[in-house]
Structure 1
Amino acid sequence: MTTKRPNFVFILADDLGCADLGCTGARAPVSPHLDRMAAEGLLFTHGYSNSPVCSPTRFALITGRWQYRLRGAAEEPMTGRYRGDKIVGLPPEHPTLPSLLRDAGYRTALVGKWHLGYPPHFGPLKSGYQEFFGPLSGGVDYFNYTDSIGKRDLWEGETPAEDHGYLTDALSDRAVRFIEDMPEEQPFLLSLHYTAPHWPWETREDHAESQRIGGRINHVDGGSLATYRRMIQQMDEGIGRVLAALEAKGVAEDTLVVFTSDNGGERFSDNWPFVGQKMDLLEGGIRVPLIARWPARIAPGSTSATPAMTMDWCPTMLEAAGVAPHPEYPLDGISLLPLFADPAWNPRRRLYWRMLHRQQAALRDGAWKYLAMDGHEYLFDLALDERERANQARREPERLAAMRQAWQDWAAQLPPIPAEARATLVFGDADIPRASH
């Protein structure tokens, strides 16, 4: 076993469906590099995002804690209307995975989407990253980088960036350059947070589509299944280049590479066999692809059915680096290092979610899942019914009551979600038919 401090590359896709990769059941050959990464490492079949919407999951990832502990992570997507806001964002004083690793001698960089609050009060350089290249908001146009309110949003540190072509390729280019330029003796954390395959629906061949929509990045009259798959493929090509850069640098053996999505897919995504999508606490909104590769510690071809959440990667990487968490900010996630040696390891903990949107609550305990949505309660045995179609609430009233109480006890320990933080759908129901539940 190596004694060298490992490097970390955390790759986050945006709105990627659980079955959108070949290794997770895709119906088209779009992800050869990620499929190879899964074959060379550990594929999680029960990977979960901390939230079914963008920003909250990112708060959980960077802090290793329930996102509900922070006002800015209540559940709202941080659109351009929050520019200059002093409240909604990640407080610079809160310890983070990059700040703790930075203080331990790691070089830290975020390449890609931040989405955790706007300057001058918030930003990646204020929360532990020493380098930043990417958008501060959520989705942006892939060619002119305008955000949801029409403002250009691509940054080099805290300075507006020049044109760099198709955004997915620009992020891949910068990630590769970061690896190539790293001194061999210094460990690093590279957060590579793509905006793909989040809308607008543009591949590198779709510059004309960018001009047509003219900054209307949440357009409802564009895109197709072929376009969406091509966006995934072009992201996968970039990831292949990142993996190749690690090999060329001679650091692949000692680098933990993780790939996942910030939430379940929407619109053109494939969430099969699950019901629901982004914004839902049904499995389709929170079950996500999850792959980890670390040749020094993970046997190739491994698979694990142990449930894992986004916030688990902060304690995992801290423990792997030998860095203690901040004592005044105890972590809610757990280290997954035992899984690397034994993919069957399972701590049998409970996983919780909540959303004001549709008045949702969810708890997973072993194979059982409690779900509340739209004023109704459900109880599902995921071991038999991953599609959440057979409601066991009437057959198991005692289990339903116990799980409801467990969720209520958990929620009572956390700050309530402010009413003004309610998330809203990006697209109206009249524009996008929602799947029936």
Structure 2
Amino acid sequence: MLSRRTLVKAGAVSAMAGAMTGLVGARAAARPAGQQAPNILFILADDLGFADLGCFGRDDIATPALDALAAGGVALHRSYANSSVCSPTRLALMTGRYQYRFPAGLDEPLGVHPELGLADSVVTLPDLLKRAGYATSLVGKWHLGGLPDHGPRKSGYDRFFGIYQGGADYFEHGMTIRGRFQHDLWENETEIHRTGYLTDLIADGCVAELGRLRDAGRPFLLSAHFTAPHWPWEGPADEEVAKTIRDSFHYDGGSNAVYAAMVESLDRGVARLLAALDANGQADNTIVIFTSDNGGERFSKVWPLRGMKGELLEGGIRVPTLLRWPGRVKAGTRSDLVNITMDWVPTLLAAAGVPQADWPALDGRNLLPDLTAGATGEPRPLFWRHKAQDQRAAMDGDLKYLAMSGHEFLFDIAADPREVANLKTVRPADFERLKAAFAAWDADMLPYLPSTFSYELRGNGHLAGY
């Protein structure tokens, strides 16, 4: 267990690092006076592969709602998750900062350090929007620390419906680990019981929340964090199969057909949310964002990329991202604007008209000027690390430094998206530059905890862990 002294010290280092970093690339674009603040619907999938949507290249899974969302806005093909695993990315989404500034962001330590989580003293996106007059709700997966010390309503959300942990059985709404079942479905801080497929229950909760928010008369942030298509591998028709699963990690299950059913169920859920926006008269003034918390796993498609969840190859960190904002972002467009999860905090603060003087220190960049202009933005360095296989990565423009399992690489990911041509000896100056940039960035982050929960590949190619 971590001592109180260790946690306090780590928090102090985090605060100092944040103060030194400042507002990296945060170009404010305040909302004009008198213009109505936009609503925000942020839809987050779980472990969805880069090419798992029709509009990103998948032809054996039907995703008509998400394809229509792309047709109504912009599809971002150079979107990156802050991490190749779940909760670190979610922490970056809440804070607009590199997750390694916080003890809870150190590569899924929540599995072995239950005392960790997103502290209520940390200023979050829902905190800031709430101060600006927004109603804030989270429906779906939290995964940033459990009760009684952590939770959505301690970090800026007015209302919560969903699960606290990293995953849940789609029918039993809890996890079975080593033969012990723990139920995990909540409304705010009250445990509740519902009957139904979890993806449908999350969609139900979002539709109900959109109706309540319509009547509230305030702009809103609704975070719709689906668990699909995260394991266990259960489609809507698999309730009887689910009863035979002895452990929620379910390494020996699933199929392409089951995965397709899970993704298609997610798409139907998104369709219901978009239809509710239309029926409520909210669509024209709502920013809708759809993305994933990390790259795909097991049955996902990532072509033309390589890699998967838990790896810093492109397939583990590049995610499909869609954005629709009627009248502000040109419909039916594709963009190669490089962006990362933490960028959504300054971007949405700017869209909501929150003055930059009221922003905390952020590592993310405000994407709004580039999104509204259809520009690809100026290059800037981005960094990742992952304890498993001692992975390290630094990206600047199209060049990417990668260290993995004791080997080092330099890739041009525009010319070589599958990361197979190592340019380390061809462009030695660029290799050394990016390697040094990673080392400088890493020195400003918290070190790994001695017992940080890490991902390791099992013999069957499945990642062990959350």
Using the size of structure 2 for normalisation, the TM-score is 0.89
Within the candidate set 112, 117, 129, 1:89 is matched to 117
What is the alpha-carbon root mean square deviation over aligned residues? Answer: 1.6
Paired residue type of 2:460 = D
Aligned residue in 2 for 1:21 = 53
- Contact 1:357 1:422 survives alignment (8 Å): no
Aligned residue in 2 for 1:432 = 461
Aligned residue in 1 for 2:369 = 338
The reply on whether 1:268 has 2:299 as its aligned counterpart is yes
Paired residue type of 1:360 = Q
- Contact 1:243 1:252 survives alignment (8 Å): yes
The farther-off stretch of 155-164 and 335-344 is: 335-344
Within the candidate set 48, 58, 63, 1:31 is matched to 63
- Contact 2:206 2:273 survives alignment (8 Å): yes
Aligned residue in 2 for 1:114 = 142
Aligned residue in 1 for 2:108 = 76
CA deviations 1:19-59 (Å, max 9, x no partner) are 10000000214210000000100100101000000010000
Aligned residue in 2 for 1:103 = 131
Aligned residue in 2 for 1:284 = 315
Aligned residue in 2 for 1:356 = 387
CA deviations 1:222-241 (Å, max 9, x no partner) are 11001101100011001001
Paired residue type of 1:116 = L
The farther-off stretch of 280-289 and 22-31 is: 22-31
Q: Distance in 2 between matches of 1:340 and 1:300?
A: 11
Paired residue type of 2:117 = G
Q: Structure 1 residues 224 and 77, CA, compared in 2 at 3 Å: closer, same or farther? A: farther
Aligned residue in 1 for 2:205 = 174
Which residues of structure 2 form unaligned runs of 5+? Answer: 1-31
- Contact 1:16 1:264 survives alignment (8 Å): yes
- Contact 1:54 1:77 survives alignment (8 Å): no
CA deviations 1:158-182 (Å, max 9, x no partner) are 0111113100000001101111122
Q: Distance in 2 between matches of 1:332 and 1:283?
A: 21
Aligned residue in 2 for 1:127 = 155
Q: How does 1:363-378 map to 2 (within 5 A)?
A: 363-378=394-409
- Offset of residue 291 of structure 1: 0.4
- Contact 2:137 2:158 survives alignment (8 Å): yes
Q: Distance in 2 between matches of 1:67 and 1:405?
A: 20
- Contact 2:110 2:453 survives alignment (8 Å): no
Q: Distance in 1 between matches of 2:238 and 2:222?
A: 28
Aligned residue in 2 for 1:303 = 334
- Contact 2:330 2:374 survives alignment (8 Å): no
Within the candidate set 244, 248, 264, 1:217 is matched to 248
Paired residue type of 1:337 = L
What SS is found at the alignment partner of 1:212?
Answer: coil
Paired residue type of 2:159 = E
Q: Distance in 1 between matches of 2:54 and 2:356?
A: 36
- Contact 1:82 1:118 survives alignment (8 Å): no
Within the candidate set 40, 51, 58, 2:90 is matched to 58
What SS is found at the alignment partner of 2:400?
Answer: strand
The reply on whether 1:402 has 2:433 as its aligned counterpart is yes
CA deviations 1:240-293 (Å, max 9, x no partner) are 010011111111111001000000011111111111100000001001000000
- Offset of residue 217 of structure 1: 1.2
Aligned residue in 1 for 2:222 = 190
Percent sequence identity is 48
- Offset of residue 306 of structure 1: 1.2
What SS is found at the alignment partner of 2:172?
Answer: coil
Aligned residue in 1 for 2:80 = 48
